[in-house]
Amino acid sequence: MWLIKDEEETDENFGKRPEERNIEELIENCLILVDKHSGPTSHQISLWIKEIFKARKVAHIGTLDPKVTGLLPVLLNDGVKCAILFQKLYKEYVGVMHMHKDFDLDLLKKIIEQKFVGKITQIPPKKSAVARKPRIREVVFFKILEVEGRDVLFHTKVEAGTYIRKLVDDIGKAYGVGAHMTELRRIKVGDFDEKNSHPLLKIKDAYEFWKNGDEKLLKEILIPIEYAIDHVKKVFVKDSAIPSLCNGAPLFPVGISRIQEDIKEGEMIAVMSLKNELIAIGIARMNSKKMYESKKGVAVRIDRVIMKKGIYPQ
């Protein structure tokens, strides 16, 4: 739902996708859903993407261990500025947990439901890049899909920063027989699904096809950043406010046209043009209601500018 602050500024293009962009423009500000194969690190995958597109910079969302496969979103060029918007997305995995001794399935399910669903305390593994201190993470669900001998096929959804290998190890210890993870695949990151991901070779081929005059496949792979942030709350601003925002000036209530409901003070939000172009990312200094009612004060403090200067006239 939207709070409409200025009816006169309502643009007939409001709510539509940004205008069709050429490949060069897409490469400058986009996201790619890579289907990572087993072997390379997430960093290596990002570097290969950087090399394929001759990009200035890249960043991946949510590191996968070398042997883990599946969905690895990668941001290109100016899209890297938006990495902060994806850091807290929940993730889903399917994997295989190997129990070290024979076990009772009903008892295993009971232990998982009682101790490993909901808020859990987890200590990162020794090889992790973060401090090994207890921290709270949420496991939304941990479902057993199939059992073959001592191998347990599972599907889980967890908060960002949850270590699945450690989760499996902790489950084995809680049962009393021990367990370790033998396979793992990430199938979702937020609303991004593995069904829309692409193997590295396909991405490279699509780039070569484009260079040879066929852009169809590459346009299916490159996701404009505006398409990728449906999970982020937004404010839409008048055209007259855009030039100052592109220079990093704060957004004042007078420059706002539409406000998404339920924005909270202190929340990271997207500042959009009425043509649905991402202008900047900012920190809300007012909630939605106050933005709608106020005429003075800072509504949004700009954290980073995404739109290039000069697109809108000064």
Per-residue exposure over 47-83, b if at least 16 CB sit within 10 Å of its own CB, e if not: ebbbebbebeebbbbbebeeebbbbbbbbbbbbbbbe
Handedness of CA 69, 126, 102, 117 (dihedral sign): negative
Contact 312, 231 (CB under 8 A): no
> At a CB cut-off of 8 Å and minimum separation 6, what does 75 contact?
30, 31, 58, 59, 60, 61, 82, 83, 86, 225
Instruction: Return d(Cα 289, Cα 285) in angstroms, integer.
Output: 12
Active site residue 11: no
Instruction: Return d(Cα 165, Cα 121) in angstroms, integer.
Output: 14
CB half-sphere exposure, 313, CA atoms < 13 A: 0
Which residue among the candidates 6, 11, 65, 205 is catalytic per the annotation?
Answer: 65
Contact 89, 161 (CB under 8 A): no
Instruction: Return d(Cα 34, Cα 72) in angstroms, integer.
Output: 5
Token pair, residue 285, equals 């200094």
- The residue length of the chain stands at 314
Please give the distance of CA 38 from its chain centroid, rounded to a whole number: 21
Active site residues: 65
